[in-house]
Amino acid sequence: MDFSLSEEQQAVADLATQIIGEMATPERLTEIERATDPKGPFDDTLWAALSEAGLLGIAVGEGFGGQGLDFVALTKVVEVVGSVAAYVPVVETLVSVADTIDRHGTEEQCSAWLPQIVDGSLIATAATAEFFGDLVAEGISAPHTTATASGAGWVLDGVKACVPSGLRAELVLIPATFADGEVGLFLVDVADVDVERQDGPLLPEATMTLSGVEVGADRLLGGSTTGGRSILDSLALRTTAALCALEAGAARSALTLGATYTSEREQFGKKVATFQAVGQRLGDAYVDAEAISLTAAQASWRIATGVDATKAVAVAKFWAAEGGQRVVHAATHVHGGVGVDREYPLHRYFLLTRQIELTLGGATASLLTLGARVAATQ
């Protein structure tokens, strides 16, 4: 396996680093936080800049206004967003929704939604939190949301919790169970559902209640009542890999903050970084950060090349959840009191890491699932 980036992928990473690094400064993030938007923090200026640079459509087909690059290029944008903890919904909009529509939607669905995502005018999300305890939760046929045939369309009923960017999104991708136990994914206008705020560690999420929501047949992703389970498998796999890439960026930046601070801070006439205990702690954190980055890269590479990525994503998921927590805790501890100052950038990486871990389902659950998979192959 060769994880070195192609020229196009490297160009995407460099462009994203330049734009996001220049615009999503700590001062800008603080300004957004102090605005206390009831829908949650959102950097509309950065979102527009990413659209103008073509980064919102980096993996969308050229026929719909995108660049048509692969999944690795897409996760490089996500990783850079994580490296500054920027307030832009790249995972839910670009990976969970745009990538899924681009690969599985009908021509009409792609034409209707993808250009709006690419030009930055549409924020979309997916209500799939229950599928992240594993890559797809066991007992998927148990209805969280039901779809009942009605005339030329469908009626959706149910509740979806922990929907990322659910307070701000205008379009939500909702899995629902048909009467025969098959699953379909529906493109639903958020204006048609009841939305309630759920507070998260860093970003608010939403509970969405669907009570007799009527949608046309054209809102069923792909237009078929079969094959929805495989679409969900793919959506969960790719969204999980993207969350791992997001954590890779956050962990590396948290580690850099810790290393920079301890190399500049002095105690007893010596740089704090020269103390053996501090050096060992940051050394362990470096190993964790590299493991998170490597396993996330492996997962993205396998997805992009069409190789089975199930185990690789499970490994990356464990490292993102377990290793990510160790990195941000180590970075906080070596900072001393500064590490818990909410005016200092480190707190965003700490809270973002916690939110990612909760979304992924936690490190222990990930390790148990991975262990069961390994045992099943012996």
Higher pLDDT among residues 318 and 373, named by residue: 318
Q: Is residue 2 part of a domain?
A: no
Tokens of 182: 């098959």
- Residue 135: the pLDDT is 47
> 264-295: per-residue pLDDT in tens?
887 887 887 778 888 899 999 999 999 999 99
Together in a domain, 238 and 283? yes
Yes or no: say if 314 and 303 are a contact pair by the CB < 8 Å rule.
Answer: no
Looking at the fold, whether 139 and 154 belong to one and the same domain comes out as yes
Domain count, the chain: 3
Residues 196 and 276 in one domain: no
Position 145 in a domain: yes
What's the pLDDT tens digit per position in 112-130?
999 999 999 999 999 988 7
Could you read off the pLDDT of 314-340 as tens digits, one per residue?
Answer: 999 999 999 999 999 999 999 988 888
| Domain span at 328 | 230-376
CA distance 353 to 370: 21
The whole-number average pLDDT for the span 7-24 is 97
- Phi, psi (deg, nearest 5) at residue 239: -65, -40
Supply the pLDDT for residue 189.
Answer: 98
Q: Give the residue with greater pLDDT, 140 vs 1.
A: 1
- 221 and 257: one domain? no
Q: Indicate if 290 and 353 belong to the same structural domain.
A: yes
CATH number, domain with residue 269: 1.20.140.10
Section 179-197 average pLDDT: 95
Whether 306 shows a pLDDT value over 50: the answer reads: yes
Given 226, 246, 269, which residue is the final one in a domain? 226
pLDDT at 9: 95
Same domain (yes/no): 22, 62: yes
pLDDT at 21 (0 to 100): 96
Q: Do 105 and 163 lie in a common domain?
A: no
Do 36 and 98 fall into the same domain?
yes
Angle at 337 between CA 335 and CA 339, to 5 degrees: 50
Tell me the C-alpha to C-alpha distance, in Å, between residue 54 and each of 64, 183, 201, 223: 12, 33, 30, 29
Q: Residue 134: what pLDDT?
A: 53
Quote the DSSP letter at residue 97.
Answer: I
Amino acid letter at 310? T
Percentage of the chain lying above the pLDDT 70 cut: 96
| Residues 167 and 238 placed together within one structural domain of the fold | no
In the chain, the amino acid numbered 323 is G
Per-residue pLDDT at 19 exceeds 60: yes
pLDDT digits (tens, 9 = 90+) for 127-174: 988 766 554 444 444 447 899 999 889 999 999 989 999 999 999 999
User: Which of 89, 122, 155 is at the close of a domain?
Assistant: 122
Q: Residues 23-73: pLDDT tens digits?
A: 999 999 999 999 989 999 999 999 999 999 999 999 999 999 999 999 999
What is the predicted pLDDT for the residue at 131?
A: 66
Check whether residue 161 and residue 44 sit in a common domain.
Answer: no
> What pLDDT shows up at residue 132?
61
Check if the beta carbon of residue 340 is closer than 8 Å to that of residue 347.
yes
In terms of domains, do 158 and 214 share one?
A: yes
Could you give the CA distance from residue 166 to residue 164 in angstroms, rounded to a whole number? 5
Residue 108 included in any domain: yes
pLDDT, residue 139, reads 46
The length of the chain, given as a count of residues = 378
Last residue of a domain, one of 196, 226, 256: 226
Tally Cβ neighbours within 10 Å of residue 241. 32
In this prediction, residue 142 carries a pLDDT of 44
pLDDT at residue 264, as a whole number:
81
Please indicate, yes or no, whether residues 24 and 50 belong to a single structural domain of this protein. Answer: yes
* Closest-CA residue to 298 (of 285, 283, 311, 284): 311
Residue at 1 is within a domain:
no
What are the pLDDT digits (tens) for 61-101?
999 999 999 999 999 999 999 999 999 999 999 999 999 99
